[in-house]
Amino acid sequence: MTDRKLFPAQEIGSLAKPRWQILAQRGEPLDARARAELSAADGRLSFAGPLAPVRDALLDGRSREVGPDAVRDLAALYFLRYLEEAGLDRVYDGEARRIEMYEYPIRQMHGFRFLGHVRSFDAKYYLKAAVTDEVRLERPYHVEEFDFVRAHARAEPKLPITGPYTLADWSYNEYYLARQAGWKGRSARRAAQRDFVVDLARRAIRPTLAALIEHGSRVIQIDEPAAGTHPDEADLVVEGFNAATDGLDAEFIMHICFSNYRDLLPTLLEAKRCRQWAWEFANRDSNDHDGYEVLRALRDYGDSREVGLGVLDVHRDTVETPERVAERIGRAAKHLGDPGRIWVNPDCGLRTRSLEVARAKLGAMVEGAALARAAYENPRR
Amino acid sequence: MAAPSLARGMLVRTGLTGPFPRSEALVAATRDLDRGRTTPEAVEAIYAVSEGEVLALEHRLGLDTVTAGYLRPSDLFRPFAETWEGFTVGPLTRWFETNTFYRQPILHAPPVRVPGAFAARLPPPLRAEPTRARAILPGPYTFAGLLDNRSGETEPALIHRLGRLLGEEARELRAAGFSSVQFTEPLLVVRPPEGPRAEAVVAGYREIRSALNGGTSIVWTYGADAGPAYPLLERLPVSVVGVDLADTDPEGIPEGRGGAGLGLGVIDPRTTLAEDPAEVARLVRALYERRRPPEIWLGGGMPLDLLPYEPATRKVEVLAAVREALAAGGRP
């Protein structure tokens, strides 16, 4: 398919924000721990470079003088170097400027009202909004963020953006559901959801993607973690994806996690401009359960797209060994029938893990990919 | 339990059927605890306040059963997966068609119940008010179907065994004064059992009925149209069978006389749009006329913790308004 090396590595989403970023963005002076972390990180990665004056001001206790935008720039630079130093071939900025993947895009649109927090699991929550009016984009988003990454990344940038189906599924549908007559049962909800997804795709996501491409973004990951929530709405995921990417030229990836992928197939394969499936597998993989077996379904359907292979469980601190990663890659390659289509990545964003644990996991991933590569390139060793 | 409302010939009971959302204060506190910014003692104090607030809401609205919100458990199974022998807690797994997740229990050997462990995890205010409390447990079929069974036991055998063990929990709750025990069973309608599995479900609920010794047993379903599951639902030896009207085609609820009480999930936490109490009352009365159950139990369909705190509060108020509309004469 390409002349890329076997099993290149990519990031997949957000990382935990370092303490120095959190304090400095609030305008608070760094405490001793945050100063030590910033100094140690810069000592190891030499990331500050053109932003050395910002780093120095933070270390001098002048957070307020620096301002939050410069802090975010410094953090974005930190994450670029953090991921590059880990050996990744595709990187982004750890989503250093984003609050999370739902609230930020929604705040760039007209038609929503935030209502409060909803629990996702354990003590993890997200702020949830209702759509109360027709969706309209206020302004394309992630563009300045991407400009910064493009200007500073040494590895290939891959931009993540939340997809229309997920934004719709994670919102309460008031406006479009109210337009449905009668009892708001399953069929009314589905019709309203389709209207909502298509409006989001056409009116908000597509213009944003077009602006990003105009600014040079070539690899764009459309995150649809909600895709598996309602398997009978896989056609809406596809319709949203196709409407959002209609007429656009870029390398599009669809990221889905914590879903039963078989339930989405073969409908999902109708996503026309999707070049890579980036899915979570490691969370469900154990010694007595093959989490990668579902890849056989792609082969059975004759799908020849790339696969972004989740090889790191992002919900556990246990660091996978390189050997475990390599074994997973080898097993996945057998299921898929083509090692040349595999990229490796964490299951999802590593933001729920500490930066130390995340770095150790990423290191194991890159090392494991190298082991797997060596095994394929020198099969007799 | 309080005497049910009599709404134009119908005996109507109301109550929450699952966890209530955590308040914004509790969200902040549990987040802080997760990040090491506060102490368990400080969070415990906020839990106590929050449980009191939910209980006060249930009392103010005159709900017939109360829950104090079930704010503490991380998911329906955790109180058992963390305390019964034979289990470990496994990977994050999606909870039906929602953006919420549970940790899948992994069963390594036939489960062994630990007496008192579940009761100790009930909201403390409920233990002080057991006759009006609704204890909420997983149903044996949903429990068996959603765990990762590595015990070597067949699924029908496991369903029956879990029915017996959950029955022992019910017996313990009954001895502590609880009169209503709900078994949450979305899987019964999402993936209706057939053959030996279906027989095991019925056998499991026989164990539960026997253990409850005259207490009210409630099976509460949601997540799919209950119509196809009705042949089995009507065989369950329980006091009430609840179905979610957000997913169930009302026309698919069969006619009938007597049998179990009819539970109806009439508020839908998947939307913040408030239901029209008059419209809901008309639907409830029509279903009552068709089925003539001994009692109607009204509640949420899916758990209300799919909503933020304030919208959930407004939705519960709809529940009380529906009861009032029924009393005033909702017509089919």
By CB atoms closer than 10 A (0-12, 13-18, 19+), residue A182 is exposed
Distance CA A245, CA A252 (A): 8
Strand partners, B298: B14, B264
Q: Which of A121, A281, A283 to mutate to test the interface with B (most CBs of B within 10 A)?
A: A121
Closest CA to B50 of B35, B65, B68, B67: B68
The residue ranges of every structural domain in chain B are 5-24+64-328
Q: CA nearest B34 in A: which residue?
A: A123
ipTM for the predicted complex comes to: 0.92
Nearest chain A residue to B104 by CA distance is A284
Residue of chain A whose Cα is closest to the Cα of B94? A258
Q: Tell which of B225, B272, B315 to mutate to test the A interface (max A CBs under 10 Å).
A: B272
CB contact under 8 A, A128 and B93: no
> Which of A119, A120, A283 to mutate: most B Cβ within 10 Å?
A119
Residues 6+ apart with CB under 8 A from A105: A141, A161, A162, A167, A204
User: Per the CB < 8 Å rule, is B100 touching A128?
Assistant: no
Task: Show pLDDT as tens, one digit a residue, over chain B (332 residues).
Answer: 655 666 667 899 999 999 999 999 999 999 999 888 899 999 999 999 999 999 999 999 999 999 999 999 999 999 999 999 999 998 888 898 888 999 999 999 999 999 999 999 999 999 889 999 999 999 999 999 999 999 999 999 999 999 999 999 999 999 999 999 999 999 999 999 999 999 999 999 999 999 998 999 999 999 999 999 999 999 999 999 999 999 999 999 999 877 899 999 999 999 998 899 999 999 999 999 999 999 999 999 999 999 999 999 999 999 999 999 998 874 43
For residue B103, which residues of chain A lie inside 8 Å, CB to CB? 121
Chain segment A169-220, per-residue pLDDT in tens = 999 999 999 999 887 788 899 999 999 999 999 999 999 999 999 999 999 9
CB-CB under 8 Å, A313 with B74: no
Closest CA to A360 of A306, A327, A317, A305: A317
Residues A333-374: tens digit of each pLDDT: 999 999 999 999 999 999 989 999 999 999 999 999 999 999
Contact predicate A334/A286, CB 8 Å: no
Q: Is A131 helix (H, G, I), strand (E, B) or coil?
A: strand
Q: Which residues of A touch B (CB under 8 A)?
A: 115-125, 128, 130, 169-170, 172-174, 177-178, 183-186, 189, 226, 228-231, 258-259, 283-284, 288-289, 313, 315
Select from B33, B94, B309 the Cβ nearest to the Cβ of A258.
B94
Per the CB < 8 Å rule, is B27 touching A130?
no
Name A260's Cβ contacts closer than 8 Å, sequence gap at least 6: A228, A231
Return all residues near A229 (Cβ < 8 A) that are at least 6 apart: A169, A259, B94, B97, B98, B99
What is the count of residue pairs from A and B with beta carbons less than 8 Å apart?
103
What is the token pair recorded at B170? 């019910």
Assess contact for A124 and A99: CB atoms under 8 A.
no
| CB proximity list for A182: less than 8 A, separation 6 or greater | A188
Instruction: For B285, list phi and psi in degrees, rounded to 5.
Output: -65, -40
For the segment(s) B5-24+64-328, the CATH number from 3.40.50.10140, 3.20.20.70, 3.30.450.20, 3.20.20.210 is: 3.20.20.210
Closest partner residue to A116 (CB to CB) among B24, B31, B34 is B24
